[in-house]
């Protein structure tokens, strides 16, 4: 069936589950993963995995310790969110940026 290209960025619960299964099977070989997910590109699969589906992503509220670490890392790295996220286990670059901008940015 033809997939509406406008909706290729919208992910269903079933597609998320399939992405998790395929990532387990193929690892981070996103072209192989995407080949089995109609309407999704390798890049879309990789981003969805990194930002939403990966089970190591923390879903809990930020702790005071994480906020402190984020402040120190921001002072050291500026807005290099991917670099900052590497030092905060379980947090994505998007989570770090959002937390900084909504709760910690003094400006």
Confidence at 43, pLDDT banded by 50, 70, 90: very high
Domain boundaries defined on the chain: 8-53, 64-104
Instruction: Please indicate whether the domains covering 8-53 and 64-104 agree at the CATH topology level.
Output: yes
The pLDDT, as a whole number, for residue 25 is 94
- Produce one character per residue of 17-51: b if its CB has 16 or more CB atoms within 10 Å, e if not: ebbeebbeebeeebeebbeebebbebebbbebbbe
Confidence at 10, pLDDT banded by 50, 70, 90: confident
Rounded Cα distance, 63 and 40, in Å: 35
Residue 70: φ, ψ to 5°: -60, -40
The pLDDT, as a whole number, for residue 89 is 87
* CATH tag, 8-53: 1.10.10.60
Confidence at 4, pLDDT banded by 50, 70, 90: very low
CATH architecture of 64-104: Orthogonal Bundle (1.10)
């Amino acid at each position: 069936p033809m997939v509406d290209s406008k909706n290729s960025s919208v992910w269903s619960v079933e597609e998320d589950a399939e992405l998790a299964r395929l990532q387990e099977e193929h690892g981070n070989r996103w072209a192989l993963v995407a080949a089995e997910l109609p309407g999704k590109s390798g890049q879309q699969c990789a981003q969805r995995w990194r930002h939403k589906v990966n089970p190591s992503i923390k879903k809990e509220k930020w702790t005071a310790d994480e906020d402190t670490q984020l402040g120190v890392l921001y002072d050291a790295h500026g807005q290099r969110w991917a670099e900052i996220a590497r030092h905060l286990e379980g947090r994505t670059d998007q989570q770090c940026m959002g937390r900084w901008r909504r709760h910690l940015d003094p400006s």
